[in-house]
Amino acid sequence: IAISIGVKGRRRKPLLRLGSYKPTTFRWWVVDTSGHPIDYERRNQGLEYAYSITVGDNVWFGAGVQVMPGVTIGNNVVIGGGSIVVKDIPDNSVAVGNPCKVIRTITKEDKIKNWDI
């Protein structure tokens, strides 16, 4: 899925790209992809810029995850509940926290672990 949003009618590029299969819990969201100047005079003129957000395939978002503008989340990733993602997360990672950081790589052992115990 790709959503194109124009910032004040000036841009038409995909700003949100979602890969396939997004099993999620409730209440996760991506934050507005627009950015604003720090300088108040330019900000008061309504000037904005846009950063895209890309989410790969097979990503799990825990409850309350926030994804900030300009972030790319790779394929086969788990983002822990309550995390605030401000930097890119590589493929095959488990990441948690505020700011969200990779705590480990998903390995072959994760594929054979019996989660029914």
For the annotated catalytic residues, the residue numbers are 36
Separation CA 103–CA 100 (nearest Å): 9
Question: Whose CA is closest to 92, among 81, 108, 105?
Answer: 105
Q: Residue 57's CB: how many other CB atoms inside 10 A?
A: 14
Q: Is 102 left (phi over 0), alpha (psi -120 to 50) or beta?
A: beta
* Token couple for 42: 């330019």
